[in-house]
Amino acid sequence: MKKHNYSAGPCILPQEVLKEASASVLNFDGLDLSLLEISHRSKNFVAVMDEAVALVKELMEVPEGYSVLFLQGGASLEFVMVPFNLMKNEGGKAAYLNTGTWSSKAIKEAKRLGEVVEVASSKDKNFSYIPKGYSIPVDIDYFHCTSNNTIYGTQMKSFPQTDALKVCDMSSDILSRKVNVADFDLIYAGAQKNMGPAGATLVIVKDEILGKSGRDIPAYLDYATHIDKESMFNTPPVFSVYVSMLTLRWLKSIGGVAEMEKINQAKADLLYGEIDRNSKFYGTAAKEDRSNMNACFLAHEGVDTAQFDEMWKAAGISGINGHRSVGGYRASMYNALPLESVQALVDVMQAFEKL
Ligand SMILES: *Cc1c(COP(=O)(O)O)cnc(C)c1O
């Protein structure tokens, strides 16, 4: 039987998607060839790329004037590409909200190319909350934030107002809840948390913001290159794009992002309800900032968790060990994780409490 997969990333994908992907590795589109051994320029693969882009536009209601790209290098390369494309060569300055490890890495890269103002940071409390009430300078090239902090289990429930360009790393909650794309100028997300296998990065960028940094941008790092070549400047990660397309189809079939958001809310309510009720555990993130994707929790002082660890493993649960920087447990409830898997974990937590 398939495990209840709580892995933080790469992570669970819909079972039907994996089945169809497996079949296509052997025989794609009735071609008697593998998806992995045909040209990315064949009409069969171009149709995959086109459908993936069209589904992102449809599911996220991407307005006119934005390009949807499937790139490589993960979100980590976006940490570099964003400042290359948006930070002015002369006197470049950007503002970053620091909400965790990934934000910190993005800041580090941006600092190579210009001045970075850290508008606020929650490092003082091990990134267990989302800072609020900070002000964003006006003389900046762009503002950058991270919508969901995968490691610390916090999520921005709203985004600050600013007249500057707004950039967001949505790697770990893309397509999990409704987002008004028009509120952002650039959104990026590594595929491997809610969309598909590792290897592809989704970028949604407003065309008119490009070409203004005054930098000599290496071709590969220039979004304009990839827009011009429709994500086929070089060989795209065909498997990752294909499986992402299947996952997007699956998301559409269950009712799209609005329906997904309801299911994700139900899963989060169920698990956080138990974390708060159970006398042996407590949540680490500030309640109002809790992530619906990654729930971090610890056992109270003096609780011996060895038996709990045996119990959840015996129940077929996988991947709830916390990240080393928080410890304890982290249950990642990405789109493809069914409510029944959350119930299975809650059942184990309740049985453990009664011991
Ligand atoms: C996983 C993750 C990253 C890193 O993604 P890569 O694709 O491995 O570079 C960046 N940001 C967030 C929020 C993440 O969850």
CA dihedral sign of residues 87, 209, 185, 202:
negative
75 lines ligand 1 (CB under 6 A): yes
Closest CA to 297 of 123, 12, 308: 308
Report domain extents, the chain: 15-253, 256-353
Fold agreement (15-253, 256-353) = no
User: Is residue 266 pLDDT above 90, yes or no?
Assistant: yes
Percent of the chain with pLDDT over 90: 99
What is the arrangement of strands in the sheet containing 281-283, beginning at the earlier edge strand?
Answer: 281-283, 294-299, 329-332
CB atoms within 10 A of CB 240: 22
Asked about 102 being catalytic, the answer comes back as yes
Cis ω on the peptide bond leading into residue 236 (within 30° of 0)? no
Which ligand 1 atom sits nearest the alpha carbon of residue 75? 9
The DSSP secondary-structure symbol of 43 reads H
Q: How far apart are CA 160 and CA 205, in angstroms?
A: 19
Stretch (H or E) spanning 186: strand 186-190
Token output for 227: 């827009």
**pLDDT score for 51:** 98
Rounded to the nearest angstrom, the distance between the alpha carbon of 43 and the centre of ligand 1 is 31
Angle between helices 238-253 and 43-59 (to 10 degrees): 40
Does pTM surpass 0.75?
A: yes
Hunting for tokens 């899963």 — which residue is that? 267
> 51: Cβ–Cβ under 8 A, 6 or more apart, which residues?
245, 249
CATH class of the domain comprising 256-353 = alpha beta
* Residues contacting residue 1 through CB under 8 Å, at least 6 positions apart: 316
Q: What is the mean pLDDT of residues 140-155?
A: 98
The pLDDT of residue 1 is above 90: no
Catalytic residue among 88, 102, 280, 312: 102
What kind of architecture, by CATH, is found in domain 15-253? 3-Layer(aba) Sandwich (3.40)
For ligand 1, atom 1, name the residue with the nearest CA: 171
Please write the tens of the pLDDT for every residue from 19-69: 999 999 999 999 999 999 999 999 999 999 999 999 999 999 999 999 999
> What is the chain's mean pLDDT, rounded?
98
Q: What is the pLDDT of residue 346?
A: 98
What lies within 8 Å, CB to CB, of 302 at 6+ separation is: none
